[in-house]
Structures are given as C-alpha cells and as structure tokens.
Structure 1
Amino acid sequence: MESFLNNKSILITGGTGSLGKALTKYILEKHPGVRRLIIFSRDEQKQFQMAQEFSEGDYPQIRFFIGDVRDKERLIRAFKGVDYVIHAAAMKHVHIAEYNPEECIKTNVGGAQNVVDACFETEVGRVVALSTDKACAPINLYGATKLTSDKLFIAANNIKGDNPIRFSVVRYGNVMGSNGSVIPFFIKKKESGKLPITDVNMTRFNISLQGGVDMVMHALKYAWGGELFVPKIPSYRIMDVAEAIGPNCEKTIIGIRPGEKVHEEMITPSDSFYTYDLGKYYTILPATHKWDLKEFVEEFNAKKVSLGFSYNSGQNEDWETVESLRKLIKEHVDLNFKA
C-alpha cells in the first residue's frame, strides 16, 4: 500500500522530545519512502544524542536543524521545501511555567504564531499542532498558553485564502513514560522507599507514546482543517500508579502543586455544541469552517455528541487497574520493571 508520506518532506518542531523521537522512529520504519525528515529543536546536546540513534548513514532522509520557535526567520528558513509540519515544541512543565510566565508565553504563544506565519511564508501543505488536556478549561498558565496556541492554529484556517494548507490540533492526556511524567518519576523515587502524592483523589488520562503518534498521523492524513482531535483513552488514579510501582513504599501526601487540577478535562460541556464522535476519536470542530459540515459527517460517519457532554478523567468509563498499569509500564516505559 502506497504511503501518503512517500516523497514528502516533514519537519517536527521539538523533535528531540519524547513524542518527537517516537514520531521519528515510526515514520522512518513505517514510511521509508519519506523524502526528508527534519528534526528542529534548540537543544544541541539532545540533537547530538539523537543523531547517534538515527544517523544519516542509516537514515539518509533525516536532517537535524538547530533553531527556536521564538525565531520566525529561522523557522522560515527551516520550512522551505517542507510539505508537512508537526508542531511539538513547547515549554510544558506546569510549575516551572507558573514561576516563569513570560518565558512560557514566548515559546507557547509567540512560538505558535511564528509557526503559523512561517507556514504561510513557505509552501507547507499540512500542519498538526500538539495540545494537552490542560488546555481545556485551564487553571494554570501552561494550559492557558496551549489553549491560545490551539486557537491560533485553528483560526489560521480562516485567513488562508486560496492557500490549500490545512491546520489541525491533537489534544491528549499524560503520555506514559514521557520526559517529566509521573511514572518514570515514581520509578526513580521508588529507590528511596517514599512516593510523594499530591492528592489521593487525583486522576489523569493515560495514553502511550504510540497512541500519541497514531493521533498525529491520523490528523496529518485525514484533517480537513480546523479540527481538534481528542482520543478515547482510559484514566488512572494516582494512588493506583503508586501501588503499581511501589506497593511497599510509604505514600507521603505533599499537596497539589501550583497550577494543578485534581481531575483533567479534554472536552467541556460548552465544547459539546461542536463535538462529534468519530469512533476512535472525538473531534471538536471550529465554529466557522470553509468546508461543508454535511459532507464531513458523511465522510467520517461522524455522530454529534449530546448537548452537555463532557470528557473528564475523574468521570471516565474506562479505567486502568494496578495490574494493567504494571503491564503497561513494563511494555512502554521500562522493560526491566518489577513492582
């Protein structure tokens, strides 16, 4: 079967991050006909390390490009000749953003606008921007900047004129095993015999790196422009994660950190007016769009959700258990993991 990425040039901003590396591996293995795959990031050390894993000798399609999304001119240079852009660069640690708000805004909001502008300046055909559950009804700066970023990418479809470019967004929960996430943190802390718990009632959505990759690829291939895709994924209770990793550890309650929620949302009741069920995913459609809604519904067999529908990690119908978490940790995070 011919790949839709054959002879295409793809650029990933923040390409040295957890998802960027997972996307790189997937694209090079599953879509070997890709013409170029450009890893764009500002961390030269991470690029150096990643180049050891994905060398140009083994993968002649790959390129490494030092740059910061805050620098529009650098983005324009990097985007020349690029067909598809995956925007994964972000400042993402909630508590760090709370204490360094201006830096977070420069990267997550200014950087997003720079990516949009650079795409219009070049001949990029499709753009998928990564979002987060924290962008839904945000209470912290990180979430607020990512919500703003989402709006910038979705609104870009309204100002493109005759340009065939399509902008879409994918929003999901905690990526299992990603840099800075709770599971690798707990695995490391297990050695001390104590696991710090922010709140015993805390829940989070859970998605694997491959699940994140699949969503990006779905949006890249099927988006009509303006959709915000949300996966149907299970939740976990933070106490179940602690029990799965360190059953004999002391669980110390430390309180919620600045900007944290007890439960996360991905779709609010207010979003339900524009939300459709696509089967594997939900999609929140833009209030205004340049394509025919009836055709979209027929093409994807989309079903409108009920008014007032919401998607909340604390009210989810699908839950990970202690045992399923242990299995997932061994499969996706640490092959040598033992509880």
Structure 2
Amino acid sequence: MSILEGSSILVTGGTGSFGKAFIDYALKNLNPKRIVIYSRDELKQYEARLRFNDDPRLRWFIGDIRDQHRLKRAMHGVEYVVHAAALKQVDTAEYNPFEYVQTNIVGSQNVVEAAIDSGVRKVVALSTDKASSPLNLYGATKLAADKLFQSANHYAAGYETRFSVVRYGNVMGSRGSVIPFFRKLIDEGKPLPITDSRMTRFWITLPQAVQFVVDSFDLMNGGELYVPRIPSMNITDLVEALSPGAETYEIGIRPGEKLHEEMISEDDSRRTLRLDDRYVVLPTIAHWGFVPPTGEPVEEGVAYRSNTNDLWLTAADIRTLIEQLD
C-alpha cells in the first residue's frame, strides 16, 4: 500500500505525457481523495478532462509555476506534490535560455516555497539524464533545479515538508519523442534522419516511470536523488525496430546534444548507493536529520552512462515494448 493512497495530490505539468499517465495510474490504483492538475494550457486541460470523463476527484487549475501565489492557492490542503512541469527541448533552450531559467529554476523554487507554506508532506521532482554533467542549457537548468530541491530540505528543516528528486532517461513514446516523429516519416515513405549512428540513450516506458515515482514517495526521507536501473538502446536499433531496413541519413548532433547520455557522474559515484531497482545519490550536505538508506556503495569513479550500461535493449526488445505501448 502506497502512502499516496486516499491522499490529496497535486501534479505540476499535469497535462503532459507523464502527468496524464500518473493521473491515470492514480485514479485506477490509489483511490485519491483528489488530484489537482496544475498546468498552463486550457486546451490541454479540456482534452484531459474529456480523457478522464470529468472524474469528480480531479481539480483543474490553470497556472504557471512562475506564479508563486497561484501555486500556493492550488496547493491548499494538498499532501503530496509531483513536480513534472518544465521546459524541455534542448535546441529551443539554446535559443531561449532565460525562458528556461525562469521556468525550470525560478519556477522550481516557487514550488519549494509554496509547498512549505502550504504544509505539503512530500514533493518528488522529476529530473533528466541531461542534468548530469550538463552540456546544454536545458540540462544546466535541471541540475540547478535538482540542487534546489535537495537543499530545500535545509530550508524546510523546521517544517514538515520533505523534497526528493527522480532522474531518468528518455521516455518511450512520450509527446515530442523520436518514436512518433519516425513513425510519421515512415508512413510518408521518407528516409529517417538520425543525428549519429553511434548515439545511445537510456530508455524507460511511461508506466515504468510512473511506478518509479510512486515507489519513491514511499521510500524517501528527503534529500535523495533516485535513478532507476534501466536499459540503454542504440539509435540504429530503434530504427530497425520501427522499420527494418529503413533508409536513414545522418544530420549531425544538434546544438547542446550529447552522443551518449549520463545519469550519474564519476564524481557523484562517491555518494551513490545501489538498491535493488535503483541508485540513490546522497545529498552533498545534509543537516536536517537525513538518514541514508541501506544500500551497496557503487564503485568510485564509475559513471552511469548509456554507452557503458550493463543493461541493453535489442531491436527485438524495442519492438516488443513499442507493441505494448500501442
């Protein structure tokens, strides 16, 4: 039984791919008292209301995480918060850097402030593999947000609220991901553009990501950065899974993009424990009574990267997962 069962939950960015998958899971499995969907787009909220048949347990708040006052109003009576709102496109961030700073950094601090002031019990913030040793602006803003949420436990030491972070890789089939894009080109009979045939990525399905976040609420004491043990895949195997023998051409790595992704850096490995299904990166400073979980220390100086992972998806594995998504 999860601590989320029968509770009041708020999801920032609740009309995104993760948010809708989390809400669907919660309605079916957690019997929530209510779920507050906090997002900016009225059309997406309307579409989500239709998707969930105007379930009476859902509350709909139009708002931006840049607006701390609105966040406080939305969090009234909320016990748990999933912070999924963010600007996420790597190349767009390179062109509009301060917009990403305002949403991903300032907006995250607003979530922290509002959660503490509203008496929220626990907050789990979603991060990204791009926040580890960030090369791009998006990754840098998410690393800053990760630090804000971990350090927020100092800020809230005299309060009930505790904060943790979940970091994972690309979500298979999510909005704006490569699978829908490739499928459209395949349907049109066009060759598939790949940035680099050597490219590798971490992959996780939406149901796996949702379950990982739910489990993290149960495990967390505040300050942990949780990283799931998930497989890697090669971009050429993804193409083979979608359309065997498809024609491809290389377009080169886009601004701010990495050839291989990383979720735990070599330096962070000194503070990392391995549990059954995850790694836990411990906070650098923890003066709020943090008790580290029981786990096996990972080998010092070994980064958790998509190209050196010990778990891999073959083209056949990817095809099976895609079929399950359909």
TM-score (norm: length of structure 2):
0.97
List aligned pairs for 1:1-339, cutoff 5 A: 3-32=2-31, 34-56=32-54, 59-191=55-187, 192-289=189-286, 290-291=288-289, 293=291, 296-297=292-293, 301-332=294-325, 335=326
CA distance in 2, matches of 1:318, 1:216: 21
- Over residues 175-225 of structure 1, what are the superposed CA-to-partner deviations in whole Å (9 max), with x where a residue is unaligned? 000111111111111123310010010000000001110111112121010
The change in CA–CA distance for 1:286 and 1:3 in structure 2 (over 3 A counts) is closer
Tell me how far 1:292 sits from its aligned partner. 5.4
Could you tell me whether the CA contact under 8 Å between 1:193 and 1:248 is conserved in 2?
Answer: no
CA distance in 2, matches of 1:124, 1:103: 27
Q: Provide structure 2 residue ranges, at least 5 long, that are not aligned to the other structure.
A: none
Tell me how far 1:169 sits from its aligned partner. 0.2
CA distance in 2, matches of 1:53, 1:262: 37
TM-score (norm: length of structure 1):
0.93
Between 262-271 and 306-315, the greater mean CA deviation after superposition: 306-315
- Over residues 110-158 of structure 1, what are the superposed CA-to-partner deviations in whole Å (9 max), with x where a residue is unaligned? 1101101111221111000000000000000000000000000000001
CA distance in 2, matches of 1:55, 1:291: 44
CA distance in 1, matches of 2:323, 2:100: 33
Between 235-244 and 302-311, the greater mean CA deviation after superposition: 302-311
Runs of 4+ in 1 over 6 A off after TM superposition: none
CA distance in 1, matches of 2:290, 2:13: 34
Could you tell me whether the CA contact under 8 Å between 1:235 and 1:318 is conserved in 2?
Answer: yes
Q: Provide structure 1 residue ranges, at least 5 long, that are not aligned to the other structure.
A: none
CA distance in 2, matches of 1:8, 1:324: 37
Tell me how far 1:291 sits from its aligned partner. 3.0
CA distance in 1, matches of 2:307, 2:245: 26
- Over residues 237-276 of structure 1, what are the superposed CA-to-partner deviations in whole Å (9 max), with x where a residue is unaligned? 0011111112242101111111100000001110011100
- Over residues 270-317 of structure 1, what are the superposed CA-to-partner deviations in whole Å (9 max), with x where a residue is unaligned? 001110011110010102223354xx44xxx41111211210001111
Could you tell me whether the CA contact under 8 Å between 1:193 and 1:249 is conserved in 2?
Answer: no
One-letter identity of the residue aligned with 2:35? L
**Percent of pairs with identical residues:** 51
